[in-house]
Amino acid sequence: MDTQRKKSKKRDAIIALLKSTKSHPNAEWIYATLKPEFPALSLGTVYRNLTQFKEDGVITSVANVGGQERYDADTNEHAHFICDCCGCVIDVEASTPLGKFALSAMEETGAVITGVKLQFHGLCGECAKK
Amino acid sequence: MDTQRKKSKKRDAIIALLKSTKSHPNAEWIYATLKPEFPALSLGTVYRNLTQFKEDGVITSVANVGGQERYDADTNEHAHFICDCCGCVIDVEASTPLGKFALSAMEETGAVITGVKLQFHGLCGECAKK
DNA sequence: TTCGTTGCAAACATTTTGCAGTTTC
DNA sequence: GAAACTGCAAAATGTTTGCAACGAA
């Protein structure tokens, strides 16, 4: 029942851009970055394709920073550091034990960690029954 | 230079409500729940007070579910389970090693975990300099 | 009487959607 | 040619803000 996908240059460009950056961009940045190459590009198209990519599991939204969703084409499970000041999102590689690992991983960058947010996503008991 | 706070029944009611629930509500729910008791309450007041509470460190926003911010008056660091179907947010207590702990913690509830989101918040190297 | 708080409505920002035209298969 | 894709603009949604009235110190 899934609707099938057809080829589209805009879509290709969007996913290629996402795969080429580690900046975990938002929709607006993707739009602005591709606009020179695709002058006719519209923001709605960016949003529509992002939604598709999420559905297809090709990307994930890693955070909501300042009310804007941030996307990542690296779907391997990994952690992120989010600056509460400038809003940048930085990959935190590895998967060693929690607090210690985080501190040492970010230490070299001069970052200061003030809090940890851990979210497990899935289906709750009620929803899993269906 | 911080502006000082005066007493306010509405504010008291909002924080009391937040402290009395484990449902990690959003602004709208708080508004709707208090409306009967405070018929004159306005949504703007709820948002303004939530912002204040966050500034004062009395609450934190634990997640953004379906575009709506979810708040928690329990500021002790703990994890959350978020149902991607119904949007409910459930506390995950304890702090044993990651994956295993999560699975066993939620197992009894019948929940199915499909992903983990770990975010470290703080200031990046650039911002920390200031 | 000073200054924080509130209701209300308007303003905002981000994201979604309807429609008509275009592209892909 | 059917169905997916797109631009555009309008709409929807969640949140913020300006202002005048109100309440606490």
In this prediction the pTM is: 0.91
Residue-wise pLDDT for B42-62, tens only, equals 999 999 999 999 999 999 999
Which residue is nearest nucleotide C7, judged by alpha carbon to C1' distance?
Answer: B42
Which residue is nearest nucleotide D15, judged by alpha carbon to C1' distance?
Answer: B47
Residue from B92, B64, B70, B98 nearest A77 by CA: B98
Pairing type for strands B79-83 and A112-123 reads parallel
Q: What are phi and psi of B109, to 5 degrees?
A: -85, -10
| B interface with A, Cβ–Cβ below 8 Å | 60, 62-64, 77, 79-86, 88, 90, 92, 95, 97-98, 102, 106, 109-129
- CA–CA dist B95, B112 (Å, integer): 19
| A interface with B, Cβ–Cβ below 8 Å | 60, 62-64, 77, 79-86, 88, 90, 92, 95, 97-98, 102, 106, 109-129
- Position B114 scores a pLDDT of 84
- CA–CA dist A44, A12 (Å, integer): 16
Residue from B85, B49, B64, B71 nearest A82 by CA: B64
How many C-beta atoms lie closer than 10 Å to residue B56's C-beta? 11
How sure is the predictor about B97, in pLDDT bands with cuts at 50, 70 and 90? low
Q: Is B5 left (phi over 0), alpha (psi -120 to 50) or beta?
A: beta
Nearest nucleotide relative to B6: CA against C1': C4
Cross-chain residue pair A124–B97, CB shorter than 8 Å: no
Pairing type for strands B89-92 and B60-65 reads unpaired
- Position B100 scores a pLDDT of 59
Cross-chain residue pair A86–B124, CB shorter than 8 Å: yes
Structure tokens given for A88: 């940048």
Residue-wise pLDDT for B100-122, tens only, equals 566 666 767 788 888 888 888 88
Query: Long-range contacts made by residues A63-67, C-beta under 8 angstroms, separation at least 24?
Result: A63/A24, A63/A89, A63/B119, A64/B64, A65/A26, A65/A89
Question: Best of B54, B90, B101, B124 to disrupt the A interface by mutation (most A CBs within 10 Å)?
Answer: B124
Residue-wise pLDDT for A51-107, tens only, equals 999 999 999 999 999 999 999 999 988 889 999 999 999 888 655 455 556 666 666
- CA–CA dist B31, B11 (Å, integer): 12
Residue-wise pLDDT for A5-48, tens only, equals 999 999 999 999 999 999 999 999 999 999 999 999 999 999 99
